Amino acid sequence: MKRSKQVLIPRLIKSPSFALKSLAVAVSSVLAVGCSTKEEVYIFKSIEECDASGKFTEQKCETAYRKALQEAQKTAPRYKNLKDCEYEFGAQNCQEQKSTAQSFFMPAMAGFMVSQALQGSNYGSSHYYNPLFYHYDRGYSRYKSPKWTTSDGVTIGNSASSKASVRKGDMKPKPAVTRTMSRGGFGSTVAAKTSWGGGSKKSSWGG
Amino acid sequence: MIRLPIEERANWEQKAREYGFKFHTMYGEKYWDESAYYQFTLAQIEEGLEKPTEEIHQMCLHLVDRVVADEVLMRKFRLPEAQWDFIRSSWLNKAPSLYSRLDFCYDGKGPAKLLENNADTPTSLYETGFWQWLWLENSVDAGKLAHSADQFNIVQEKLVNRFIELKAHNPGEILHFACCKETEEDRGTVQYLQDCAEEAGIECRFVYIEDIGVDVHGCYTDLDDIVITWLFKLYPWEFMLNEEFASFLTASRVQFLEPAWKAILSNKAILPLLWEHFPDHPNLLPAYFDETSAAQHLSGSYVKKPVFSREGANIAMFHNGQGIAVSDGPYGEEGFVYQALQPLPKFGSSYTLIGSWLIDNEAVGISVREDSGLITKNLSRFLPHVII
């Protein structure tokens, strides 16, 4: 047979999208009750600490660290001035980042969490690591001890903990949210070419 | 390869509504036409189309390797110099691709001849992968076609599998889908692709090309200010490369589908280059970069095509030096190439074109288009096919 065995996947059948969505929500909330939503993670402050723990191979430690650091660059909270950043994350814990248009401050990654599930796995498509930051609840003081916190502000445990149980969602990568400075820099060719043909609507720019 | 009339499904328009196929009729004209179908033999499909499709695709990839390393060719392909490094590195880094469509002149007897390579923004994918598949199932179930009737169409199955592979390259990433506003057909195509990606377990978001933004770090963003890291764009590279936001292409480090090196494949300049490197290949038509060579070698019978053009726009056909067909459109300012005239075969009162689809490097299915004129355009009718 030279054709797909099956293409009638219900997802492809278009119903009004809100109906589909509410169905999807209902299904997942049912699942949430029956299935484990927690996941065990190890917390490390450095690659060395990860190696020394003997929980993961050297290579996995290094990859997890590197990926978490990349993730931190993308998703760590950003502040316009140093003071605001240090209020949340402590003195000496914030770095200035410069880009072409503007500079801003973000907390340095203080550690990273690695899912226990990585022990038996070879990466694959799941997400096994995320950056962590030292966060000071209601403002930094040198008499307080910080808590481990994710990019989007979920507290994982106090700064002494090296193991934690987190919601599965906390191990997912966070979409990087930012501030858009300008829009409309793509599409100008089409705007120019649409005027051809008496401005009649074009059904496609593909082919 | 024959064209046979068949009774339309009584309820097909209602089905189309149910399945979200909104553009079956465009500008009051029939686009989806199931009053007839094309019938192929297995040999016509496998030897006549499938094999040449994969072979030509490999020949084209070989040429991309040449073009990225050669400034003279990059210039001939009218690619903006500011983006040469960007295009080159997408190739050298083996940025993965999703799909392509090669258009052939094929009558079921002689060798299929390549007319062009839609490697960047092919449309009519939904009609091919899903809608004509459904037509066959329904027609067999209704007893109008034999149970043995098959179709060359593993498009959707391979598409979902390809997305599963791509997901492994981009673990945990959100895939954004984009096309232009007010383009029902493109919007439908992109939605179909998004459905297939979601089927593969990829988290997807949609943004219109015109709504894409840039943040302070030069990252592209969607309307919710979420950074775009992986983008399928149904928008020609030759447009994007020359627009304002092109200056952020490299720094944004976005994984694009199709990758930027597809700007070389989908370029009409690939046609004369193919002929130069693979002269007399049975599936190629002679083609030249300049009109003088064309006039000399093609005895006045050739087709003049813009280097950049979509949907059969701005094409001129000459036979023995006389213009026989012409289409208008907004393209042509970047120059033209000249390809030997090979009129499409006529079935009844229609000229017929075969689109042959690839997912990555694999031939996966065909689509048949008909037009009352010699030039196939975006409104040319789409007809289903069977293999018997």
List chain A pLDDT tens, one digit each, 207 residues. Answer: 888 887 644 344 433 332 222 222 223 333 333 334 577 889 999 999 999 998 888 888 998 899 899 888 888 887 778 888 888 888 888 888 876 566 778 889 999 998 887 776 665 445 678 899 998 877 888 788 888 888 877 788 888 888 888 776 677 766 777 777 788 889 888 877 655 443 344 567 777
* Cβ under 8 Å to A: B residues 52-111: none
Residues of chain A contacting B174 with CB distance shorter than 8 Å: 175
Taking the C-alpha atoms of residue B230 and residue B338, their distance in angstroms, rounded to an integer, is 36
Give the 3-state secondary structure of chain B: CEEEECCCCCCHHHHHHHCCCCCCEECCEECECCCEEEEECHHHHHHHHHHHHHHHHHHHHHHHHHHHCCHHHHHHCCCCHHHHHHHHHHHHCCCCCCEEEEEEECCCCCCCEEEEEECCCCCCHHHHHHHHHHHHHHHHHCCCCCCCCECCECHHHHHHHHHHHHHHHCCCCEEEEEECCCCHHHHHHHHHHHHHHHHCCCEEEEEEHHHCEEECCCCEECCCCEECCEEEECCCHHHHCCCHHHHHHHHHCCEEECCCCHHHHCCCCHHHHHHHHCCCCCCCCCEECCHHHHHHHCCCCEEEEECCCCCCCCCEEEECCEEEEECCCCCCCCCEEEEECCCCCEECCEEEEEEEEEECCEEEEEEEEEECCCCCCCCCEEECEEEC
Q: Flag if A207 and B310 touch (Cβ within 8 Å).
A: yes
Give the contacts of B382 (CB within 8 A, at least 6 positions apart). Answer: B31, B32, B33, B124, B127, B132, B367, B368, B369
Q: Flag if B201 and A125 touch (Cβ within 8 Å).
A: yes
Predicted confidence at residue B333, as pLDDT, reads 77
Rounded to the nearest angstrom, the minimum Cα separation between B208 and chain A is 9
Residue B48 domain-assigned (yes or no)? yes
Q: Flag if A204 and B378 touch (Cβ within 8 Å).
A: yes
Query: What residue of A is the nearest CA neighbor of B179?
Result: A205
Q: Flag if B365 and A3 touch (Cβ within 8 Å).
A: yes
ipTM for the assembly: 0.84
Predicted confidence at residue B246, as pLDDT, reads 96
Residues of chain A contacting B364 with CB distance shorter than 8 Å: none
- Mean pLDDT confidence for B136-158: 94
Largest CA distance in chain A: 72
Q: Does B348 touch chain A (CB under 8 A)?
A: no
Residues B129, B206: one domain?
yes
Residues B236, B292: one domain?
no
Q: What is the DSSP letter of A66?
A: H
Query: What residue of B is the nearest CA neighbor of A122?
Result: B168
Q: Which range has the top average pLDDT, A64-78, A143-157, B68-82, B174-188? A: B68-82
Of residues B255, B96, B233, the one with CA closest to residue B165: B96
Predicted confidence at residue A197, as pLDDT, reads 43
B308 half-sphere exposure, CB direction, 13 A CA radius = 25
Residue B149 domain-assigned (yes or no)? yes
Residue B208 domain-assigned (yes or no)? yes
Taking the C-alpha atoms of residue B73 and residue B76, their distance in angstroms, rounded to an integer, is 5
Residues B336, B357: one domain?
no
* Cβ under 8 Å to A: B residues 118-137: 118, 121-123, 129-130, 133-134, 136
Strands B302-306 and A103-107, by their bridges, are unpaired
Predicted confidence at residue A33, as pLDDT, reads 32
Residue reference for tokens 């007897």: B109
Residue B277 domain-assigned (yes or no)? no
- Mean pLDDT confidence for B216-234: 91
Residues B170, B316: one domain?
no
What residue numbers bound the domain in which B193 lies? 2-267+347-387
Which two structure tokens, joined as six digits, stand for B42?
Answer: 């297995």
Predicted confidence at residue B338, as pLDDT, reads 95
Q: Does B41 touch chain A (CB under 8 A)?
A: no
Predicted confidence at residue A37, as pLDDT, reads 58
Residues of chain B contacting A20 with CB distance shorter than 8 Å: none
- Mean pLDDT confidence for B54-59: 98
* CB of B149 closer than 8 Å to CB of B388: yes
Residues B82, B144: one domain?
yes
Residues B337, B370: one domain?
no
Of B136, B174, B244, the CB nearest to A185: B244
Which two structure tokens, joined as six digits, stand for B25?
Answer: 């009729």
Residue type, A119: Q
Q: B99 or A40: which carries more pLDDT confidence?
A: B99
Predicted confidence at residue B257, as pLDDT, reads 97
Predicted confidence at residue A73, as pLDDT, reads 84
Residues B301, B219: one domain?
no
Predicted confidence at residue A99, as pLDDT, reads 65
Residues B362, B335: one domain?
no
Q: Flag if A5 and B235 touch (Cβ within 8 Å).
A: no
Which two structure tokens, joined as six digits, stand for B288?
Answer: 């030249």
Residue B274 domain-assigned (yes or no)? no
Residues of chain B with pLDDT > 90, as a percent, come to 76
Predicted confidence at residue A194, as pLDDT, reads 59
How many domains does chain B divide into? 2
Which two structure tokens, joined as six digits, stand for B46?
Answer: 């496998």
Q: Does B285 touch chain A (CB under 8 A)?
A: no
Of residues B200, B206, B227, B232, the one with CA closest to residue B216: B227
Query: What residue of B is the nearest CA neighbor of A196?
Result: B330
Predicted confidence at residue A71, as pLDDT, reads 86
Q: Flag if B179 and A205 touch (Cβ within 8 Å).
A: yes
Give the contacts of B285 (CB within 8 A, at least 6 positions apart). Answer: B113, B114, B115, B271, B275, B339, B340, B342
Residue B137 domain-assigned (yes or no)? yes
pLDDT per residue as tens digits for the range B344-374: 999 999 999 999 999 999 999 999 999 988 8
Residue reference for tokens 């000229």: B351
Mean pLDDT of chain B: 93
Residue B279 domain-assigned (yes or no)? no
Residue B276 domain-assigned (yes or no)? no
Residues B212, B67: one domain?
yes
Q: B216 or B339: which carries more pLDDT confidence?
A: B339
Instruction: Name the band, by pLDDT with cuts 50, 70 and 90, for residue B340.
Output: very high
pTM of the model as a whole:
0.75
Instruction: Report the alpha-carbon angle B199-B203-B209, nearest 5.
Output: 105
Rounded to the nearest angstrom, the minimum Cα separation between B201 and chain A is 10
Instruction: Name the band, by pLDDT with cuts 50, 70 and 90, for residue B7.
Output: very high
Q: Does B210 touch chain A (CB under 8 A)?
A: yes
Three-state SS at A118: helix
Rounded to the nearest angstrom, the minimum Cα separation between A72 and chain B is 14
pLDDT per residue as tens digits for the range B295-339: 889 988 999 999 887 777 788 899 988 888 888 877 777 889 999
Residues B73, B155: one domain?
yes
Q: What is the DSSP letter of A159?
A: T
Residues B293, B379: one domain?
no
Of A178, A182, A186, the CB nearest to B209: A186
Residues B227, B312: one domain?
no
Three-state SS at A46: coil
Instruction: Give the number of beta-carbon pairs within 8 Å between A and B.
Output: 202
